[in-house]
Amino acid sequence: MSEKLARLKEIIGEVSDLGHAASVLSWDQQVYMPAGGAEARGQQLATLGKIAQEKFIADEVGELLEDLKKEFPDPETDEGAMIRVSARDYDKARRVPTSFVVEQALASTQAIGDWVRAKSQSDFSIFRPALEKNVELVKQYVSFFPPADHPYDTLLGDYESGMKTADVQEIFGALRPKQVKLIKAISEKKQVKDSFLQKKYNEKKVWDFSEKIVSKFGYDFTRGRQDKAPHPFETTFSVNDVRITNRFEKDQPLATLFSAMHECGHALYELGVNPAYERTSLASGTSLAVHESQSRMWENLVGRSLPFWEHFYPELKKTFSSQLEGVSAKTFYKAANKVEPSFIRVNADEATYNLHIMLRLEIEIGLVEGSIEVKDLPEIWNAKMRDYLGITPPNDALGVLQDIHWSYGSIGYFSTYALGNIISAQIWERVNKDIRDLDEQIRKGQFGELREWLRVNIHQFGHKYDPQDLMQRVVGSKIDSSAYVRYLTKKYGDIYEL
């Protein structure tokens, strides 16, 4: 290894260590930290962020990158890819003042605490000042970069490299009428029965069952763990320490199972990255949309499939015999896929889920443009819920306060969930061509070949390939919603006899 490459990897490794240390503090903030620790935790995160920023944007790093671009010009090599991704990250980081990094870390820590309190009391006014500050900081962040076709492009690009606001709007614009048409057709059919899902289920038994499922998927509890948090998430501290969190909802007790599958999908991606990429710019998934394709695949295309429940349902029925008495596996499968407009995004069915995302995208664009003010969000949110889904949230907790993302200042994120759905269907068609008996394997509770296919074709590459390039390699085309429409039409056509 050249001396300059070794030096660059040393610096990036140290920056990575600082980032992962901050991730441990953030994980603890949501899982174990007492509410009184918020102020100090904010300062700790700000300090780590400042040190990491200063270390990464040093002139030495820029000089090393310029020299190494010439030394390793081939982007297909690991070294060339690492230098390309590092250079892009460096250019972005150099534009953002260290003082801003500190301010944003402090603001988000305050906002997270305010969001937790606001949601628990279903009172948006508690969260409003912190959110106004976060939106102000997001606009300031955008101002550090050259003007784009749309100011939202800068934020979207942080999560989905190469994707433009216009690209997402075009994809969603083509997809929305097809999903609305499907939902309308379903609404005219007899609704499936699901009253047994609203019964009381023992929390510990549900939690334990969720861990049985993800263990079978291949989540390694010697390299991870599942803890409780207000909003489920996955976080990575190293390729050998990838954790998930979950929650139990009394009114939707089995949602815990699907949340576990979702976060497990994220975790399997991170656990499958080439270990040689540890502490480099390649050591994570390539984008949030590709990441979401993995979580949504395991949650929906696997976890909400009939073969999946033909395997797991007998044990679930034995565990909850009184709640599921007289309920067949086919009936349970249909109930798990019931299409009905609902308030909470993470619990939404596949046919309506993307409408939740489109609503949020419109709001985020409005916040960034300045056409929407934070003070008006509850009213705007409810109006868009009526427009998109025909229902009105009865309170803030079931409406504008349901997601944690804005408390982090993570504006630009939401569209990747719907893009992930689209990508998951494209990948699923490719997988089924390569693994002809995949349904039968799932029916037997065998997930190893699927997991290995994903590791070989997607996970191992980490951030080596940009998302659209990876899609070309894996499925032979860029992100396209056709496969997703085919998947929904076939699935719900069978369930609702369309």
Q: Tell whether 356 and 237 lie within a shared domain.
A: yes
| Number of domains present in the structure of the chain | 2
pLDDT of res. 290 = 97
Domain membership flag for residue 159: no
- Do residues 100 and 171 share a domain? no
Cα–Cα distance, 139 to 240 (Å, whole number): 36
Same domain, 274 and 207: yes
pLDDT at 442: 98
- Return the ∠ at Cα 341 (arms to 335 and 346), rounded to 5°: 75
Last residue of a domain, one of 147, 180, 203: 147
pLDDT of residue 161: 87
Please identify which of the residues 234, 263, 299, 364 carries the catalytic annotation: 263
Range list of H helices, 32-164: 38-56, 59-71, 78-94, 98-121, 124-143, 151-159
**Main-chain dihedrals φ then ψ at residue 226, nearest 5 degrees:** -120, 125
Host H or E run for residue 227? strand 226-228
pLDDT, averaged per 10 consecutive residues of the chain (498 residues), comes to: 94 98 96 93 94 97 97 94 96 95 93 95 98 97 95 94 93 93 94 94 98 98 97 96 96 94 98 98 96 97 98 98 97 96 92 95 96 97 94 97 94 93 97 98 98 98 95 94 96 96
Shared domain check, 261 and 405: yes
Query: Is residue 346 classed as helix, strand or coil in its secondary structure?
Result: helix
151-159 vs 124-143: helix axis angle to the nearest 10?
100
Confirm whether 156 is domain-assigned.
no
- What six digits make up the tokens of 322? 């009184």
Q: Are 416 and 292 a contacting pair, CB within 8 Å?
A: yes
pTM (2 decimals)? 0.93
* Nearest of 98, 68, 102, 100 to residue 85 by alpha carbon: 68
Residues 178, 112 within the same domain? no
Q: Which domain holds residue 403?
A: 165-496
| Separation between Cα atoms, residue 276 and residue 274, nearest integer Å | 5
In the 3-class helix/strand/coil scheme, how is 364-421 assigned residue by residue?
HHHHHHCCCCHHHHHHHHHHHHHHHHCCCCCCCCCCCCCCCHHHHCCCCCCHHHHHHH
Give the Cβ contact number of residue 170 at 10 Å: 11
Q: CB–CB of 301/317 below 8 Å?
A: no
What's the length of the chain?
498
Select from 121, 147, 173 the last residue of a domain: 147
Residues 136 and 236 in one domain: no
Pair (196, 320) in one structural domain: yes
**153 occurs within a structural domain:** no
Same structural domain, 330 and 413: yes
**Same domain, yes or no: 441 and 361:** yes
H-only helix segments in 144-233: 151-159, 165-187, 203-217
* Apex 422 CA angle, 419 and 426, nearest 5: 135
Q: Verify whether residue 234 is a known catalytic residue.
A: no
CATH number at residue 257: 1.10.1370.30
Q: Are 229 and 245 in contact (CB under 8 A)?
A: yes
pLDDT at 447: 98
Asked if residue 179 is part of any domain, the answer here is: yes
Domain boundary among 113, 147, 181: 147
Q: Using CA atoms, how far apart are residues 480 and 426, in angstroms rounded to an integer?
A: 8
Q: Which residues pair with 245 in a beta bridge?
A: 227
Alpha-carbon distance values, 369 to 138, 286, 358, 417 (Å): 11, 28, 16, 22
- With 0-12 / 13-18 / 19 or more C-beta atoms within 10 angstroms meaning exposed / middle / buried, residue 177 is exposed
Largest CA distance in the chain: 70
Is the alpha carbon torsion for 39, 21, 260, 183 positive or negative? positive
Q: Are residues 221 and 116 in the same domain?
A: no
Q: Are residues 81 and 189 in the same domain?
A: no
Do 136 and 16 share a domain, yes or no? yes
The one-letter amino acid code at 217 reads: F
Residue among 260, 198, 270, 210 nearest 235 (CA): 270
Task: Tell me how far apart the alpha carbons of residues 60 and 8 are, in angstroms, rounded to a whole number.
Answer: 9
| Cβ-based burial of 237 (10 A; exposed 0-12, middle 13-18, buried ≥19) | middle
Where b means 16+ CB within 10 Å and e means fewer, 217-231 reads bbbeeeebebeebeb
pLDDT for the residue numbered 346: 87
Residue at 125 is within a domain:
yes
Q: In what order do the strands lie in the sheet with 234-238?
A: 226-228, 241-246, 234-238
